[in-house]
């Protein structure tokens, strides 16, 4: 099959794919799966493909994937604000600030009510410096920070300036609280959980996370991996004449 004229040509020319990343998949897992499907279902021997903003394995939701010439636009999409919804479990912490690692400490929560949660959330609005989690893909000495963390080693990370434009508590069923956050590029919601718990004079762990928006792109527009595979099979069989 000719890469430049066959059904895979549109993906080489450039496509923007909105994907609903599955739970426990890395963002690279999703990209690699899509690359494999395009190559083997459409007969494309070589294709550029990348994503515009990492989601942690334990998070689900919107992932922008660019193919072909559209990969030149990745940086543009990375700079857009992100919207997340999720759950904080109060009164406990973990080394990774989420469920990747087991709890290492418990804290009092008797003093926490919805009013305090909402007041504390409001205090995070605006621009401030955030320390990334040790369990993150930040590079230190040429290696990912999580590589040091998983070996039980410590290393120095630099703070990142972030901006939080919206932070609301959506429901409370102690010790859990739901939230919605609109934030800038580079914001770690796991680190927000850490800092939120500290500001409550307690602890907090991120126990659920979903990215719902990247700029004006919405997860409701996104395809599941299985839906994309079905679409690509239709393209390969002549059932569709473009990738969308």
Tokens found for residue 243:
């990738």
Write the DSSP symbol of residue 224: P
Catalytic residues: 56
Longest Cα–Cα distance of the chain, Å, equals 67
What are the start-end ranges of the E strands in the chain? 15-21, 49-51, 60-67, 82-90, 92-93, 105-106, 126-130, 139-140, 143-144, 160-173, 176-183, 204-214, 217-218
Give the DSSP H or E segment for 221: none
Rounded distance, CA 205 to CA 56, Å? 14
């Amino acid at each position: 099959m000719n890469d430049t004229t066959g059904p895979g040509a549109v993906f080489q020319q450039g496509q923007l794919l909105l994907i609903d990343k599955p739970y426990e998949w890395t963002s690279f897992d999703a990209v690699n799966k899509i690359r494999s499907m395009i190559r083997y279902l459409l007969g494309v021997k070589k294709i550029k493909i990348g994503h515009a903003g990492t989601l942690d394995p334990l998070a689900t939701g919107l992932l922008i994937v660019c193919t072909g010439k559209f990969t030149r636009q990745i940086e543009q999409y990375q700079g857009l604000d992100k919207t997340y919804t999720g759950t904080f479990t109060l009164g406990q912490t973990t080394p990774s600030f989420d469920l990747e690692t087991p709890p290492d400490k418990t804290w009092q929560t008797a003093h926490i009510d919805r009013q305090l949660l909402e007041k504390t959330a409001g205090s995070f609005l605006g621009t401030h410096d955030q320390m990334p989690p040790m369990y993150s893909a930040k590079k230190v000495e040429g290696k990912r920070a999580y590589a040091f963390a998983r070996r039980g080693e410590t290393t120095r990370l630099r703070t990142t300036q972030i901006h939080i434009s919206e932070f609301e508590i959506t429901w409370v069923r102690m010790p859990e609280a739901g939230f919605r956050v609109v934030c800038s590029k580079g914001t770690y919601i796991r680190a927000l959980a850490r800092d939120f718990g500290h500001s409550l004079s307690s602890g907090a762990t991120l126990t659920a996370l979903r990215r719902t928006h990247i700029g004006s792109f919405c997860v409701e527009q996104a395809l599941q991996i299985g839906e994309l595979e079905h679409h690509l099979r239709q393209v390969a069989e002549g059932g569709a004449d473009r990738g969308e």
